[in-house]
């Protein structure tokens, strides 16, 4: 089943302890789309400026991602993010953010997108995320990401959004912030009680936790020495997960767990190169081979 994603498309500048790369294809919706494209057809909604390099769109097109929802604003400038990772490759400083055209992003879904059953709202203003939901009334599964900024500044909107979601994906510090507790298990269930049928807490190098009314579980990350650039790991996690759900066209408990495992594995590839570099080298076969290893690792 087709999967619609709405979110940021950006130009990233990334500095790690050993290297710096500029003008990379980045953004939440971009990393999500690429990850999901291994599993299902993806329809991307985003906005870029006149400075946007055509070759960036070509990367997505070649992967079969529908970019007809990627709006280009004449005279506008594309959202840019510049970040520097610490030695632990986990903490990072944002050196510069230029929202540019993304600051005024008012997503209007092409007619063909509006019949989508699977929708992912990448991190963004909750009011805008809700506006997107209203354009896909026939959806079967709507999942969103969020961030500390919205938890702190637009809590009422976020609370309203949570009631309309089937699932929410957020990281550990955000879960603690929104649920006002330091225990992640308690946090997961509290967030779930705010509306979503399921909640997934991303723990970076430590994996992810799943919470529904009936289930609580944790899956570890795939252990890798090759951490080159963690940018977009969380988005590719969500992309792998949603992509698999859309492919299966169901969200039974066992499908959801397998989807979470796929999300973890796709994210483990994403961090092995700058931007989308590593992702551009792999195929579904590589992901499935890693899945075999991963299952073996968790079997005893």
Using CB under 8 A, list all residues that contact a copy of itself: 87-90, 182-186, 189, 203, 205-207, 209, 216-221, 223-225, 227, 254, 257-258, 261, 295, 297-300
Nearest distance, CB of residue 253 and a copy of itself, angstroms: 10
For a copy of itself, the closer of residues 42 and 261 by Cβ is: 261
Nearest distance, CB of residue 237 and a copy of itself, angstroms: 16
Nearest distance, CB of residue 39 and a copy of itself, angstroms: 16
Nearest distance, CB of residue 71 and a copy of itself, angstroms: 38
Query: Closest Cα partner for 280 from 3, 28, 24?
Result: 24
Q: What gap in Å lies between CA 116 and CA 140, rounded to an integer?
A: 8
Residue 139 has phi, psi (to 5 degrees) of: -65, 150
Longest CA–CA span in the chain (Å) reads 59
For a copy of itself, the closer of residues 164 and 186 by Cβ is: 186
Backbone angle region of 100, left / alpha / beta, with phi > 0 → left and psi within -120 to 50 → alpha: left
Q: What gap in Å lies between CA 269 and CA 248, rounded to an integer?
A: 22
- 3-state SS assignment for residue 249: coil
Cβ neighbours of residue 299 under 8 Å, at least 6 residues apart? none
For a copy of itself, the closer of residues 147 and 227 by Cβ is: 227
For a copy of itself, the closer of residues 68 and 226 by Cβ is: 226
Angle at 173 (CA atoms; ends 171, 177), nearest 5 degrees: 115
Nearest distance, CB of residue 158 and a copy of itself, angstroms: 24
Q: What burial letters (b/e) apply to 165-180, b meaning 16+ CB within 10 Å?
A: bbbbbbbbebbbbbbe
For a copy of itself, the closer of residues 148 and 157 by Cβ is: 148
Nearest distance, CB of residue 152 and a copy of itself, angstroms: 19
Query: What's the first-to-final CA gap in the chain, in angstroms?
Result: 35
Decide if 218 contacts 259 (C-beta within 8 A).
Answer: no
For a copy of itself, the closer of residues 55 and 300 by Cβ is: 300
């Amino acid at each position: 089943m087709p999967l619609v994603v709405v979110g940021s498309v950006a130009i990233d500048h990334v500095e790690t302890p050993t290297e710096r790369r500029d003008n990379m294809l980045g953004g939440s919706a971009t990393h999500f789309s690429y990850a999901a494209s291994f599993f299902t057809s993806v329809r991307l909604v985003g906005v870029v400026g006149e400075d946007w390099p055509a070759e960036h769109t070509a990367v997505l097109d070649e992967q079969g991602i529908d970019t007809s929802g990627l709006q280009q604003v004449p005279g506008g400038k594309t959202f840019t993010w510049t970040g520097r990772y610490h030695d632990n490759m986990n903490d990072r400083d944002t050196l510069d953010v230029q929202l540019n055209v993304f600051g005024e992003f008012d997503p209007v879904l092409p007619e063909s997108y509006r019949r989508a059953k699977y929708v992912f709202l990448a991190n963004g203003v909750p009011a805008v995320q809700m506006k997107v939901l209203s354009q896909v009334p026939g959806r079967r599964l709507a999942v969103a990401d969020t961030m500390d900024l919205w938890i702190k500044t637009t809590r009422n909107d976020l609370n309203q959004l949570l009631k309309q979601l089937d699932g929410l994906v957020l990281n550990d510090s955000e879960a603690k912030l929104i649920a006002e507790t330091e225990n992640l298990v308690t946090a997961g269930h509290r967030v779930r009680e705010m509306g979503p049928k399921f909640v997934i807490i991303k723990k970076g190098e430590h994996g992810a936790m799943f919470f529904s009314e009936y289930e609580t579980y944790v899956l570890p990350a795939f252990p890798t020495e090759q951490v080159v650039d963690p940018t977009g790991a969380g988005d590719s996690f969500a992309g792998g997960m949603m992509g698999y759900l859309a492919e299966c066209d169901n969200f039974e408990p066992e499908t959801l767990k397998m989807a979470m495992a796929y999300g973890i594995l796709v994210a483990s590839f994403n961090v092995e190169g700058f931007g989308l570099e590593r992702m551009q080298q792999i195929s579904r076969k590589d992901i499935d081979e890693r899945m075999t290893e991963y299952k073996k690792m968790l079997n005893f």
